[in-house]
Amino acid sequence: MIMVHDLRTASVDYGKLGFRVRSGGRVPGGIENAIIPFGTDMPYLELVGIYQPGGEQIRDNEEFLAKGEGAIYVGLEVASAAAVAARLRELGVDVPGPVSTTVRAEGVAETAPSPWTNVIIPHGSSPRADPLFFVEYNKSARANYWAMDPDLVGKREEERRIPHPNGAVTLAVAWFAVDSLNTTAARYEGMGFHRVREFQIDELSAHAIELALDRGSLLLMESTSADGPISNVLRLRGFGIEVPGVSVEVPSIERSLAAMSPQVSAQLHPSDTPWGRNVVVPAELAHGVWLELFERGGPVR
């Protein structure tokens, strides 16, 4: 969930990176979105703007955006939001809800019942929650959504199947910058996440722990330098945990670069890693997010 100052501008800019950006909808409370999908039932990137400022429901979004664009939340799909909430409470994590949300898509009436239910983890006294939240999609609500206007909704589903010009296959990794690697890893492992490996990322002056998901993974990173990139990310908002970047799998770095606007691709420099060839789009070109495009050419990430 990438907060941006202007949704239309951000959509155009991600188009210049070779992505197909699909129009989304407006959520009651003041935010609107656009979607970068990877298939119909796969992960997606969500660009989020504010169309009606000042609402209590979006205070976390506004406070985040006031200090700059970037990824504010990462949602993980689960089979049962109620079961996740119960499990977290058993572990001593005080979570509200689950909470249901509605959305009004352009050309489609507001859905009822809610198409999804969220479980969020409060973060101290801040209106902003932990960057990680859990979401259960309501199949019956989705069927009702289809029934409202099957032609329009069918068209939107077809749009999700259209390949990205840059060849992007899937959203593979969400990066988490943390001020305490061991504490955060232990907390997430207590929730049931499985540690895959621990390693250094020299380019970011960071020590990292990877946690596996059913599809993809989470990458927790703690800075090994007081003035390193991860330290700077955390210093911006003083929140203690942020989402500085994501990794997207592509079949060919050269194809990805060729699909970008020349002004963008000329600024990027591919490299070879133990896991395959990659290129990292800097945050200033991707609205506050480091965007790694990588070929899966080495050990499984």
Domains contained in the chain, CATH given = 2-161 (3.10.180.10), 170-294 (3.10.180.10)
User: What is the DSSP code (8-state) at residue 204?
Assistant: G
How many Cβ atoms are within 10 Å of 300's Cβ, its own excluded?
Answer: 7
Q: Does residue 70 surpass a pLDDT of 70?
A: yes
At 91-106, the pLDDT tens digits run: 888 899 898 866 555 5
How many Cβ atoms are within 10 Å of 67's Cβ, its own excluded?
Answer: 12
CA dist., res. 282 & res. 154, Å (int): 35
User: What is the DSSP code (8-state) at residue 106?
Assistant: T
Q: Does residue 9 surpass a pLDDT of 90?
A: yes
The pLDDT score that the predictor gives to residue 108 is 55
pLDDT band with cut points at 50, 70 and 90 for residue 301: very low
Does 73 or 94 have the greater pLDDT score?
Answer: 73
Range scoring the smallest mean pLDDT among 33-47, 110-124, 134-148, 244-258? 134-148
Beta sheet of 99-101, edge-to-edge order: 74-77, 132-137, 116-119, 99-101
What pTM was computed for the model?
0.89
Q: Does residue 144 surpass a pLDDT of 80?
A: no
Q: What is the mean pLDDT of residues 249-263?
A: 96
Q: Does residue 187 surpass a pLDDT of 60?
A: yes
At 106, phi and psi to the nearest 5? -60, 120
Range scoring the smallest mean pLDDT among 31-45, 78-92, 203-217, 227-241? 31-45
The pLDDT score that the predictor gives to residue 300 is 43
Q: What is the mean pLDDT of residues 162-188?
A: 95
Q: What is the CA radius of gyration of the chain?
A: 19
